[in-house]
Structure formats: C-alpha cells, structure tokens
Amino acid sequence: MKKLLKWLGLAVTGLVGVVLVGAVIVYFLSNAKLARKFVVNVRPVAVPSDAGAIARGKHIAETRGCAECHGKDLGGAVVIDDGAMGHVAGPNITRGTGGLPAGFGDVDIIRAIRHGVTPDGRGLFLMPAADFATMSDADMGAIVAYVKSVAPVNRPSDPIKLGPVARALVAFGKIKLDAEKIDHANVRPAVVTPGVTVEYGRYLAIGCTGCHGSNFSGGKIAIGPPDWPPAANLTPDPEGRISKWTEADFIATLRTAKRPNGTELNPVMPRAFGQLDDLELKALWMFLKTLPAAPTGSHS
C-alpha cells in the first residue's frame, strides 16, 4: 500500500512537472511569436477633411465593426473576457487621455488598419487588419478622416492579458496575427466604385473572411473562445441554410439578426453588418451566389 502511494505520488509529481514544463514552453513560444517585429512600408494616402468624406468614413467604420471592438465612441471596449482565452479589449483610439499617444499620425493609423502593426513593429492581436488590408485608398482616407474627427474620450485602454488556451493556440500557430497573414506589399486600388456588382460584393466580403473563412464555408472560428458558435456556411453548399434563401431573406436576416425561420443570430455575428445599405447587401448577395459550394469548415 505504502509502495503504491509512493508510486502514485511520484507519478503525480511527474505529471505536474510535465504540465509545468509545457506551460513554460507555451509561455515563451507565444511570447516570441507575439513579440515578432514586422517591418512594413506604409504608403500614405490622402486624408480628406470634408463632411462628405467623414460621413463616408463613419459609415465604413460602423459597417466594418470598429465600434464592436473599440466602442461606439471609439474609447475602447472589451471583446473577449474568458478564463481560457483571456481578457482582450480594443484600445481607446480617440485623441483623449488614454487614447492614441501624442504624435500617432495618419501613417500610424493606416499601419494599424492596413497592416495590423504598431509604430514599433509589433503585430496587433485580434485587430482584423487582414479584413481591411485590401480597402481602397479612398475608403482608407475616409476612415482615417473619421477616426480623427471623433470627440476625444478620456478613458484608459484596457491592457490585453492572454489566457492559457489563447497562448497555446498562438504558440502552435492555430491563431495567427493578422500581420503574418497580410501581403504587406499588396497594391491597394485607389478607388473602388460602389455598385450592385460581383466585384463590389467581393470587395466588401473580405470583411467576412476572418470568421467565415477564405472560401466562406464557415466552421470553427480560430480566434474565438470555446463558447463561440461556428460561423455559418455562406456558400451554396446544401449544408448552408443560406443555400435555400432568397436575396430578400439574406437582407432581412442581416438587418434584423433573425433568420427567415425566426431564430436569432448569435451576437458573435456582428450586428454592424446590418447597417450596410441596400446596394452593399445586394452586391454581397450577388458575390456569394458566384461562390463554389464548399463543405462547412473546409478552409485553413
């Protein structure tokens, strides 16, 4: 009996040791990945200051989800607060105390949005820059104009503290920083003309790929905590509900966050997209209809 207990004790000590060593490795590996420096060449864009451009920037910001992570007033908001994933908040990006540092210029805002990189070269966590990287110069200029126009909010930015599961996912490459995914040398179009066209739909739909995947087949969202539902399959595959919808069903679902069958969309599906205008939603629908059918979750 005594011997057995001794063995058990040794086995438990060994296990705790392995877990501890594993935790230390994950900690250092994830730190190394998060500290990686990205040298990017930020091409300046013209930043207008007229009311029309600011209004356009506001519409883009509202429909790209900036407010979901940075708050309605852009003064910062908690996005993830979960034991496994940690505490992640979008910072205050206004000119108030606790907001963007003094001297954070247009180029620094563009570096964050297009490249997902801070002025000192660190890759931003969770900030979905890959969804914004291909935005036209005109739209980027409008967003910067809008961000600069909002009233200063005096609120300290909440520091990011990653939980053990998030660290493990970073360490083993399951969560990649957007800065790693973006082709930083990519040439962005100067202007993209809004219209009910497949091209404009494709342009807008890049903002869906962070969750619905590069081929829009949905499935598990890599960066999401365990309680996030899988993203829906948006391809014409019969597994996707949307394959049976009409354009009007699609538009009504985004606008009301309720499906044609009356069920509500989980709040992980950003309500912001419901503010896209008719032309934008029609273009998105037109583009989604051109996709090849793909089984749910069939993307890397």
User: How many residues interact with ligand HEC (rule CB under 6 A)?
Assistant: 48
Q: Does 127 bind ligand HEC (CB under 6 A)?
A: yes
- 118 scored as a contact of ligand HEC (CB under 6 A): yes
Amino acid at 6: K
| Angle formed at CA 200 by CA 235 and CA 186, multiple of 5 degrees | 95
Residue 262 CB-density burial (10 A; 0-12 exposed, 13-18 middle, 19+ buried): exposed
Question: Sign of the CA dihedral 26, 27, 28, 29?
Answer: positive
Is 293 an interacting residue with respect to ligand HEC (CB under 6 A)?
A: no
Pick one of 38, 200, 273, 287: the residue that binds ligand HEC (CB under 6 A).
Answer: 273
Q: Between 13 and 186, whose beta carbon lies closer to ligand HEC?
A: 186
Pick from 29, 40, 55, 79: which binds ligand HEC (CB under 6 A)?
Answer: 79
Query: Which of the stretches 10-18, 111-119, 148-156, 194-202 binds ligand HEC when contact is defined by CB under 6 A?
Result: 111-119
End-to-end CA distance of the chain: 51
Rule CB under 6 A: is residue 265 a binding residue for ligand HEC?
Answer: yes
Q: How far is the CB of 52 from ligand HEC (least distance, A)?
A: 19
What span, in angstroms and rounded, lies between the C-alpha atoms of 64 and 80?
18
68 binds ligand HEC (CB under 6 A): yes
Angle (CA) 159-37-190 rounded to 5° is: 95
Instruction: Please compute Rg for the chain using Cα positions.
Output: 22
Q: Is 65 in the site for ligand HEC (CB under 6 A)?
A: yes
Residue 101 CA to residue 128 CA, distance in Å, equals 21
CA angle 184, 147, 216 (to 5 degrees): 50
Answer yes or no whether residue 284 interacts with ligand HEC by CB under 6 A: yes
Contact, 48 vs 142, CB < 8 A? yes
Interface with ligand HEC, residue 91, by CB under 6 A: yes
**211 interacts with ligand HEC by CB under 6 A:** yes
Tell me if 147 contacts ligand HEC by CB under 6 A.
yes
Considering the complex, what minimum distance in angstroms separates the CB of residue 174 from ligand HEC? Answer: 17
Quick note: the x/- pattern for ligand HEC over 215-244, rule CB under 6 A, is: --------------x-xx-x-----xxx--
Binding site for ligand HEC (CB under 6 A): 61, 64-66, 68-70, 79, 88, 90-91, 93, 109, 112-113, 118-119, 124-128, 132, 143, 147, 160, 207-208, 210-212, 229, 231-232, 234, 240-242, 250, 253, 259, 265-266, 268-270, 273, 284
